[in-house]
Structure 1
Amino acid sequence: MHAPISVIIPARDEAETIAQVVATVQDLPCVAEVVVIDNGSTDATAACAAAAGARVIAEARPGMGHAVRNGVAAAAHDWVMKVDADLGRFETGLFARMAEARAPGVGLVKGAWNDPHDPMPMTRLLVAPALRLMFPGLGELRAPNSGIYLFDRSRIAHQRLTPDYAVDLDVMLRVHAAGARVEEVDIGRIVHDARNPDHYSRMAQEILAFFLSRQPLGLLDEVVVIAADEAAAAQHVGGVIAGKLIAGARVSVYLNEGGATLDAVFGGFPTYRRAPFAEAAGHAPHANAARLRIIRAPGLDRAVPGACVPVDVWETGGAADVPVPLATGVALKRAALERLGLPTDVPPRETFRVVAEG
């Protein structure tokens, strides 16, 4: 039997359609609750949703991402289905296909729909080409930016989702970077409200900015840190660890001793893992990894054999070949250093020497 589902519906001024959407999805198999996120509505959206049986929460900050992030956090169950609030006619029974497509290793199920009045310009002209170039493992999806999908929030740092229209893509990329499968099922014909060109223009700008921001992050470069203890890891690699985890990439840390402090700082990220140094030789990259990057302290020369992807090896200390800006990782690195009783003056970058390139 599949786990129960929380349905979240971000809504802003959708009083005309929200009651129908709520009433319809709450009758789906496996749906345990429906949560409507009132995203600053000026009409009766919240009242209509509540009357239809939804739990209503408020998110005053404008932006689809803020609403989704709030709704995912408020959901009672890890499997979360996100549904649009402006749906007109749709084939309810086909939505159940998303729940049925869950299987071991699947982290997200996209609902591929068709609307005879929507030529899907965003998908054809922007999203699909960008995915084929940057994330080819997702390049064959028919509806990659569909706003109707089901995912396992326990696999991603959902508190870090982007606050704008690109949030649906962010969920998908994070699930992919965590090593889980993205499936797609046909949910039939759906009629949305008509969109004007200005709407598409704003969406395109936010989505393009999102893709450009993800390009330098190397989401599919899995990082392995090998160090004598957590002090060495925090001092030399703490910023890289933090930045990768915030972006959604997977990071494994192998230590000779200790690790509780790193766990306290980074343990809330689903893509973080720590293990004893002796287990490093058996490390295997996740299913979607494009590259394995091993970062080790000097003198710790145990490599990770048998990788099925290209492997880079970096070392800390000594002459530096690669400077890595800390950017978003500064705060978490400082938190780790403070817990360890070490100086918290953090330079703007961490530097590494390239030992081998795959």
Structure 2
Amino acid sequence: MSDPISVIVPARNEAQTIARVVRVLRDMAGIAEVVVIDNASTDATAAEALGAGAQVVTEKRPGMGHAVRTGIGAARHDWVMKVDADLDKFDTALFSRMVEARAPGVGLIKGAWNDPKDNMPMTRLLVRPALAGMFPGLGHLRAPNTGIYLFDKSRIAHGELVGDYAVDIDVMLRVHAAGTEVAEVDIGRIVHDARDVSHYNGMAEQIMGFFLSRQPLDLLGEVVVLAERPETVIRTALGHAARKLMSGARVTFALGEGASVDVLSEAVAPFPTARIVTLDELSGVAPAVHTARLTVIAEEGAALTAARSFAARHATALPVALWWMPGEGERLGDVSVDVAEGAQIKRAALERLNLRDEVTPREVFRVVSDVA
């Protein structure tokens, strides 16, 4: 795979090292650009990076996640390599192993390193145990929280990434939930400066908070919404669907033939894990390889009939829940889901349709007891 690569380097007060970092990265084969994100520096980091030939963008909000999000947005190419700002103790020639590991179906390559002075307490005591319980498909990774990796940004809604130290894990989980593989290659030995306990305490608090926030979102729970018209989806289920998309989960909308989907398409356009098909095309749709469970939501009538067929077809391989949409104005149901930030997307879509429906904090659905 020879697609060009953008490198992003979050940097805060790295004036002493950033010029060398940029020059080394620019000399690597396959690297089309180096983007340095000046993350609220108070020294000459930006000037040094610019003088060495990097594109420099500014992110005034301190925080690794804010810097990474800004850098990904500024990168001109889909394949993005994220590296640390201090490479003095790295054998950067080994980074080419990540480039060579790109292959069809692989969305991210983690760069695993070893440091004889670092027993990786964050990885051993927090990240790997959390992944084993929540995302066992990533259990093969030795260094799941490494900050050195290469990924295809077109796979994820990178504008939704968290703003703190958990961002590297967030990228990985989104790529995994999107249905592509996460690989890992050895990039050799790295010797870090000694870090005190307070450094790890702060990181652990942010990463634990991230995992706790992702648990109720069910990233590997895929959603399929069926209706004759997109207006029905927008009024009844878009809040829940949007929240799932914002977290990185996959959502499919299946609509009647000839339905005008402009407003719905615009609402979900920022999310690569969304897709819109016709009800007739649903028979060719399959859940992603990493999907752990399936929720099928449909309006009554032909859509519910199609939903039953789709749910029954996949119930032998996955746990499947089948819900139907209550009638217009009906507020009672068996299942009530928090739409959270999805309410903003739903409200904007309703305004585009000139509908004055009240956007409530929760959407309700009825449970269809028999899938078949």
Q: Which residue of 2 aligns with 1:261?
A: 263
Which residue does 1:351 correspond to in 2? 364
Comparing 109-118 and 48-57, the one that deviates more: 48-57
Post-superposition Cα deviations, 1:88-119, rounded to whole Å, max 9, x if no partner, equal: 31112210011111111111000000111111
How far apart, in 2, do the equivalents of 1:196 and 1:42 lie? 23
AA of the residue aligned to 1:291: R
Query: How do 1:21-100 residues align onto structure 2 when only pairs under 5 Å count?
Result: 21-100=21-100
1:97-112 to structure 2, matched below 5 A, reads 97-112=97-112
Which SS does the other structure have where 2:228 is aligned?
Answer: strand
Structure 1: which 4+ aligned runs deviate by more than 3 Å?
none
Match of 1:339 among 348, 352, 359: 352
Superposed CA deviations along residues 11-66 of structure 1, whole A, max 9, x for unmatched, are: 01112222222121211111001111010111221222222221111111010011
Matches within 5 A, 1:311-326: 311-317=320-326, 320-326=333-339
**Which has the higher mean CA deviation after the structures are superposed, 44-53 or 319-328?**
44-53
Q: How much is the aligned-residue C-alpha RMSD, in angstroms?
A: 1.4
Change (3 A) 1:344 1:191: farther
Alignment of 1:1-358 (within 5 A): 1-256=1-256, 257-299=259-301, 300-302=304-306, 303-304=309-310, 305-307=312-314, 308-317=317-326, 320-356=333-369
SS at match of 2:86: coil
The size of the alignment, in residue pairs, is: 358
Task: Give the superposition deviation at 1:309.
Answer: 2.1
Q: Secondary structure at the match of 1:104?
A: coil
- 1:356 to partner: Cα distance: 4.3
TM-score (norm 1): 0.97
- Give, as a single letter, the amino acid of the residue that structure 2 aligns with 1:78: D
What is the alpha-carbon distance in structure 1 between the residues aligned to residue 164 and residue 255 of structure 2? 38
Alpha carbons 1:87, 1:193 under 8 Å: kept: no
Shift of 1:357: 7.9
Listed as ranges, the gaps of 5+ residues in structure 1 are: none
Name stretches of at least 5 consecutive residues in structure 2 with no aligned partner: none
TM-score, scaled relative to structure 2: 0.93
Letter in 2 for 1:268: P
Structure 1 residues 357, 286: CA separation in 2 closer, same or farther (over 3 Å shift)?
farther
Cα shift readout 1:222-260 (whole Å, capped 9, x = no counterpart): 100001101111111010111011111111000112222
State the AA in 1 paired with 2:271.
Answer: F
- CA distance in 2 between partners of 1:38 and 1:93 (Å): 25
* Paired residue type of 1:183: A
Q: CA contact under 8 A between 2:235 and 2:357: conserved in structure 1?
A: no
- 1:301 and 1:166 map into 2 onto residues whose CA distance is 42
